[in-house]
Amino acid sequence: MPRRQFIGGAVALGLAASAPDAGATRTSPVAVTAYGKVRGRTERGVHVFKGVRYGADTAPNRFRPPRLPEPWTGIRNAFDFGPACPQRSTDMPVSEDCLFLNVWTRGLKDGGKRPVLVWLHGGAHASGHGASPLNDGTNLALRGDVVVVSLNHRLNVFGYGYFARLGAAAGDSDFDYSGNVGHLDIIQALKWVRDNIAEFGGDPSNVTLFGQSGGGGKIVGLMAMRAADGLYRQCLTMSGQHVTASAPLNATIRAEAYLKTLGLTPAQVGDLKTLPVDKLVAALGTQDPLVVRDKILFAATLDYKTLFRHPFYPDAPDETAQVPLIIGNTHDETAAFMRDLMIANDTTWETLPQRLAKEMLVDMSPEYVIAHYRQWYPQMTPTDVLRAAATAGRSWRPHLIQAEARGAKNTPTWMYQLDFGSPVHGGRLGAYHGYDIGLIFDNVRVPEANCGTTPEEIAAAQTVADQMSTMLIQFARTGNPQTPGLPSWPRYELSRRSTMIFDTMSRIEDDPRAQERQLFATVPYTKPGT
């Protein structure tokens, strides 16, 4: 993004979030936060506050823990989403001044003590924001009289670039927490929820974290961080595949590669604090030195200051073992990462081994895997096998490891699998990675949900959305996902491996796809690059 466009977009949005609005009326809802008053809008009976500040501008504090906002006088308009963290590509204005959150609620100052749902967006710790139409909280607030919160925080190098070891060698302590300041931003946002959400009709003692992909990964990271203790009551992860965090030596190798792209030596690490934002963003195109297929990967780091253990290695953390947790995944996760191949449908038995080898992310003979799938599922095409085996080896495996670690400790854990697939592109993407977002938010009619366009397609999607969104709301209220509209849902235990299969006719399966699970369990798994 050109520097002028970058700065202009951020400044314009910042003004829109704080300047007086001639269209504001006396009936616009006003809430009092610990830092000042904010004015929102009421839409379909839901009070919506967008771009509410929970932290100070991070630019003067780059790579360091977040600071609290400066209090303000008067009333700030909260009509527009705040800017996202700078990133390689986004449809949102971006700025280092990105610590903003959004609230959807049906009540204000009414003592309602509504369950609070805090959404953490995906994007692999590298990209994303809390303003997608997919995660608009209006329908959830209407359906279950809950308070929904989404937020932006620091990402990629700004939130997870681990420069602590290089900084220590250079005598610079400003980088001590750099590998996890994105998580520290989230913790500060959760403290804002604790201290302010009663004003919005929410119950600060009943906060549910839910998030998809990187958002789910952030949740399991928070569950391993003692600094987050007491800020949430239950969690739901959707395709949150993190078993291990970035290890400090590997994270330092990445830091050195990133500095090299910028033309800096490790001794010049301090220059990162003042380099222009556009240069830091451009360097995110650096080839990752550990995972050849990817650009530079920055994620939560085992820094022994805020994160002292891996999320699910060697086991599930004892400290959060009794926190209710739902572990969700989709049947065809990796179709999202192989979108063009799925749509083209041109994989042959001859090209399948090479293509599968690139996608499994575990070191197994692709020919051996393919032979098993052809024996188990003789009706599958080469494209079908590619999608199924890549999902089992790459995306489904870490979810199973998480569930097994929790099940071994007799914890309140439930597992689901979304089988209901998208009808777009002739259904070739199936239930792809991220398809459950629009369903669980009950937002099946927004184009981004990819739930189809015909009345029949929308009706089918709505059936699944009714089940998933009601389940989420029940879980937020009680810590148990069981609803009258679902079959009896047992906890995940190793003796049964009970899994809710969400579909137009949802059902419980014990140990679904058992032979696939057993095949990939014969080789070790760690999250690539950690």
Q: What are the catalytic residues?
A: 213, 333, 433
Count the neighbouring beta carbons within 10 Å of the beta carbon of residue 480: 16
**Strand 234-238, strand 202-212: pairing:** parallel
Count the neighbouring beta carbons within 10 Å of the beta carbon of residue 372: 15
Nearest-angstrom CA–CA distance, 79 and 73? 18
Is the bond preceding 528 in cis, omega lying within 30 degrees of 0? no
| Secondary structure of residue 60 in the 3-state scheme | helix
Structure tokens belonging to residue 421: 């697939």
Structure tokens belonging to residue 472: 């989420």
Phi and psi based region of residue 94 (left: phi greater than 0; alpha: psi -120 to 50; beta: remaining): beta
Helix axes 352-359, 366-376, angle to 10 degrees: 110
Spatial contact of 359 and 390, defined as CB atoms under 8 Å apart: yes
Among positive and negative, which fits the CA dihedral 309, 312, 313, 319? Answer: positive
- H or E element, residue 215: helix 214-223
Name the burial class of residue 354, with classes exposed (0-12), middle (13-18) and buried (19+) by CB atoms within 10 angstroms of its CB: exposed
Q: Backbone phi, then psi, for 285, in 5-degree steps?
A: -80, 0
Amino acid at 328: G
In DSSP notation, 71-98 reads P--SEEE-BSPPPBPP-SS-SS-B-S--
Q: What is the largest CA-CA distance in the chain?
A: 70
- H or E element, residue 32: strand 30-33
Q: Which of 418, 416, 421 is nearest to 451 (CA)?
A: 421
Nearest-angstrom CA–CA distance, 292 and 493? 37
Amino acid at 526: T
Which value, to the nearest 10 degrees, does the dihedral of the CA atoms of residues 395, 399, 404, 407 take? Answer: -160
Spatial contact of 100 and 20, defined as CB atoms under 8 Å apart: no
Nearest-angstrom CA–CA distance, 383 and 380? 8
Structure tokens belonging to residue 140: 């959830």
- DSSP one-letter code for 396: I
Percent helix, strand, coil in the chain, to 5, is 40, 15, 45
